[in-house]
A and B are shown apart, each in its own frame.
Chain A
């Protein structure tokens, strides 16, 4: 009797546990997902890995529709061999229409289930989704790798912010700051998608306004969160000749003066000169001249960007956070996005050249 009990205990160990087993060879990796639709009716495009023969991997895209994004996956699952597993997702594409639904509600499953890869990127794309799943010759890599590499480069160049699925939720839940997501567009010349700038969110949903690459870079500097490098190029006129000047931002100091109905922001920026064919930067006078020029141009551009933000009623810079913390009477005026749009915001940029390259 004792022996039978012992054997059944040992055997029971062999039975338990298997219910949460998911053999890796029975699931398929989905590194790229695209969603279109609105609340209640979604279409999902799942780009998943197909291993047809040993040591060779290819990707194919499958479409599914349903009432939620999880429902689209279940629908698409019925059309694939192996289980679609979004736990390795690199990039999630959203159409401009899909972005008009609060992502927190859309991606409830992602935040709720422990398997989701929260470091995947969220991207808003322009136009029809079908064109974003075509691999072209000039991509060089597989489709998901191309998106990841493209976004990574844009992030290093300060065009897009370092925002993933996880930090998107943090920004969406914060009333003092708005979400900005990378915005991608099909290039008409090459037929490949590329980063255009950022898509601005206003009060948890896409505002419909987007910024181009230069404007997006300015946002990252306004936030004081640039990537590895942030570069600006301007045309400098001298003696009826155009000299392009490219500068890299080295250091930035910001100062915000917030009063009852206005914000005066001063940005002291230090630049290194990458390109300046006119030269003579070793002379105090020409350097001063260039600094003044840059200050003027940048101030103009920065103010233009802030105007656009106010138009979009979107505050991705996070002025609202400071206002909320130190200026409650301004914060309590109403919804921050509305207050922000009405505020008088002046940005002043003071440029300083600290490095001139090895020429002088």
Chain B
């Protein structure tokens, strides 16, 4: 009777541990030598599967197999309360045997996992149409599916005392640079924060320079993109419950590559690659250039064009910078609004905002139609970049250029460009140079910026961006 009593109090004790959660199931089951207490969260575990597993284990224990508890899904260890809590919260089934003081863990979690649909923000025309989901196991399996090699290493780090989030980094042992892998490992281990739940937080901790507008990690939800980067010796990071993977070390031009390039034909892909680089220039410099021309250097316009510009700007009440800011902010507001809008009315608002107000604002004489053309071209160009973070960066850095152009004209743009390039050259991603094939100059990879080189050409296996000498090494040598 004592046994029964103590088991009942144990059940109460466990229920108290979880503050009487409604989805907590604590039951007594009879076992070969004494009772056991089954404990799991019904919301995270498949209840019918629990019965099957318990039945298998019971048969094994009756048959008195030497290691009856050790199967593919179960293991046994000494009991302790923190272990019990961890097991249950992870969605596993815990069976506690008070008689032998053992904790049997059965791993049969059942979470609702979204199916692997194509990510909305990285759509490709040719290529795989699957995307990462909110489950780390599924994500890793999506990668492993592509890379059937033993060299693919998956490492876990648990971060955050409160959230206990699993951060996983994946790399190919034979290709990835050891220094970079160690760098990631040490940076991850140095994160001391109790609550870690999103990949964005990890990015903050891992970035070399947080205050740079340029992203130093490539964010992707596409397995094929992750795999292609793994094969270039890069490291892919996941957090559990997040469909985005972080890829590093990357350089500036990595953000301009898309799986379409590698699935498309050589000439077509090369053309679009050049187009994307060109669109970067347009997106950053076009409004600034227009402001500088209209405000300072009207003599650079050819005569015929100058007449058109003249008629356009003659009756605008504002200075060019104010005019540009009105349209730029207007477009940014439309963009921000359409993200939040429900899908059925999003396009409608886009049309109302873009066409109706855009037309009215020109007719009202607030901004010139040329400014609308310039800003619209800029906005479209900034969306050409296949990466969301780089897209936002480009949209932001055009404002300092517009300011420089309105203060100093072409001279301001030149100074701004110099500052931009100095900034880019000084950036690094996991201590690897950010502007890599350009600075330091690597002629063999330089052409890859503009062309998609045919596959049958011999590629040099890319490991680091610096001919094998990392930045830190060089610093150390000096």
Contacts and interface: CB of A to CB of B under 8 A. Distances in A.
A24 B313 contact: yes
Given A29-B306, A54-B314, A88-B301, A22 B407 contact: no
A13 B407 contact: yes
A88 B309 CA distance: 13
Of listed B299, B309, B365, residue having the most chain A CB within 10 A: B299
B412 interface: yes
A119 to B, nearest CB: 10
B321 to A, nearest CB: 11
Contacts of B296: 20-22
A120 to B, nearest CB: 9
A128 interface: no
Given A24-B293, A90-B303, A51 B311 contact: yes
A196 interface: no
Interface string B305-320: 0110111011110011
A55 B320 contact: no
A56 B294 contact: no
B298 A57 contact: no
Contacts of A78: none
A341 B365 CA distance: 64
B18 interface: no
Interface residues of A, number: 27
B408 interface: yes
Nearest to A142: B307
Contacts of A17: 407-409, 412
A24 B315 contact: no
Contacts of B98: none
A148 B294 CA distance: 25
A56 B315 CA distance: 12
Given A56-B311, A57-B311, A20 B409 contact: yes
Given A24-B293, A24-B295, A24-B298, A54 B311 contact: yes
A43 B229 CA distance: 72
Interface string B400-443: 00000001110010000000000000000000000000000000
A55 B306 contact: no
A3 interface: no
Given A16-B407, A117-B299, A49 B412 contact: no
A343 interface: no
A24 B368 CA distance: 13
Contacts of B293: 24
A140 to B, nearest CB: 16
Contact of B311 (A20, A21, A55, A115): A55
A31 interface: yes
A301 B314 CA distance: 54
A14 interface: yes
Contacts of B311: 51, 54-57
A108 B325 CA distance: 41
B294 A23 contact: yes
Contacts of B310: 24-25, 29, 49, 51, 57
Given A23-B319, A25-B314, A49-B307, 8 more contacts: A17-B407, A21-B296, A22-B295, A23-B294, A23-B295, A24-B293, A24-B313, A29-B307
Q: Please provide the 6 A-B residue pairs with the shortest distance between their CB atoms, ordered closest to farther.
A: A87-B299, A17-B407, A24-B298, A51-B314, A17-B408, A25-B313
23 contacts: A13-B407, A16-B408, A17-B407, A17-B412, A18-B407, A20-B296, A20-B409, A23-B319, A23-B320, A25-B313, A27-B298, A29-B303, A29-B310, A51-B315, A54-B315, A54-B365, A85-B299, A87-B298, A87-B299, A88-B299, A88-B306, A115-B299, A117-B299
